[in-house]
Structure 1
C-alpha cells in the first residue's frame, strides 16, 4: 500500500530530527576525541559512537527509500548520501588495518559530512519561505560548522609538530582568522593544515557576496514597504 503525501512528509520530518540529533552527537564525540584524546590512537568509544550514528543514517536512507513514490529515482538521486553513511572507519578497524590517528580522523569525517548536509537541510527548512533568507542562513551555518571542524582537524594534525600552537583555543582562533581572510601568525606545517589554510579563506570570500546580496535585499524590501 502506497503512502500518502502527508505520511511521507511526516516520516521525512521525523527522520530529519533523528538525523540532526545523531549528527550533533557525532560532532560532540569527534570534538572530545580530538581535544581530550592522545592524538595517537582512535578510542573504542568514538568508534562505537560513529558506528551507531552511521547505522542511524543507513536506516534513514532505507526507510525513506521504501517510502519513496519512485524508489528507483530516489536511490540514484540519494546514492551519495548512502555512500557517506557507510561506517568506513569501523570497517577498517574490524579489518585489522593499521591506521594512524590522523587518518582515522579524516576517515571519520565522512559520516560527519552526511550529518552536516542533514543539518543544512533542516536549517533551511526552519527558516522562512524567503529563498534568499534560507540561502543566507544555510551559508552562515555552513561557515560556522566548517570553521569549527577545520579548527578541530588543524589542532589534531598540528598540535604535536607546530610549536606555535598552544591548545585548541589557538586552533579555533586560527580557523576564524583565516575564514575572515585576516590571517593568523600560526602557520601550518603539515599537508592537511596547509590544505585547510587554503580552503578557509576561499569559503570566506564566497560568503561576502551572499552577505552583501542579503543585506541589499532586506534593505530594498523594507524601503519599499
Structure 2
C-alpha cells in the first residue's frame, strides 16, 4: 500500500473529525441497527409488506449516508474500504431490491443468494453495534452476539428451508429457531439443509458455534469454580 501523500496535520485532523463523528453517531446508529435487525428478521420469517419495505429502505439510505461520510473523512479511503468490505457488500445488496424488473432477479436462486448476503451483512452490522455498545467484550458480549446470531440464523434458515417449498423443511419460524439453537449448542439435529444457501448458512453457524461454545462453557465453569472456592474460603474463616 502506498503511503499517504497528505500532510500529517491534515491526516490528524481527518482522523479527529472521524472519531468525533463516530462518537456522535454511536447511539443513533445503534438504535437503527437494532431496528434494522428486527426488520430483516420479520421480512425473512413472515414475508415482505409495504410498511417493512419502506422502513427498511429509509434505514438503508441512512446507513449509506453514514458510510459515505466516514469514507469521505477517512485519510486512506482504499484502506477504509478494505477494512469494511463486508459492510460495503451489505450496503450494495439491498439496492437489488429496487431492480426487480430485471429478469435475472426473478430467479429463486438469485433471490436466495441476496438473502444470504443480507443475513451475513446484518449480522456484521449487529456485531459492530454490540461492540460499540459494550466496552468490555467479555461473556456478556459473547452471549448477546450469540443471541443475535441465533435469531438471524433462524430467520435465514426459515427463508431458505421453508416447507412446503423444501421437502421436510421448517413448518414455522419457531421450528427454525429451535433448530438453530441446537446447532449453536453443538447438539445438532436430524434435519440437514437442502438448498445451497441453507447449507452455507448452516456451515457458518457451525463454525461460529465451534468458536464460541468452548469459551462460554469455560466462562460458566470458571464462574462456578470461583463461587465454590469463595464458599470454601468463607467456611474456613468462620
1:17 to 7, 10, 27: 27
Cα deviation code 1:33-88 (max 9, x no counterpart):
23333xxxx65555444433332222111111233345554344334423331234
Q: Are positions 1:120 and 2:127 aligned together?
A: yes
How far residue 175 of structure 1 moved from its aligned partner, in angstroms, is: 0.9
Corresponding residue for residue 158 of structure 1? 162
By how many angstroms is 1:172 displaced?
Answer: 0.8
C-alpha distance 84-192 of structure 1, shift in aligned 2 (>3 A): closer
- Scaled by the length of structure 1, the TM-score of the pair is 0.72
Of the candidates 184, 191, 195, which is equivalent to residue 190 of structure 1?
Answer: 195
Does structure 2 conserve the Cα–Cα contact (< 8 Å) formed by 1:181 and 1:205?
yes
Unaligned ranges ≥5, structure 2: 1-9, 230-238
CA contact 2:119–2:153 (8 Å) conserved in 1: no
User: Tell me, which stretches of 5 or more residues in structure 1 are unaligned?
Assistant: none
1:77 aligns with 2:80: no
**With structure 2 as the length reference, what TM-score do the two structures score?**
0.69
Q: Which structure has the bigger radius of gyration? A: 2
Aligned residues, how many? 215
Quick one: structure 1 residues 152 and 78, their matched pair in 2 at CA, closer, same or farther if it must change by over 3 Å? closer
| Cα root mean square deviation, aligned | 3.6
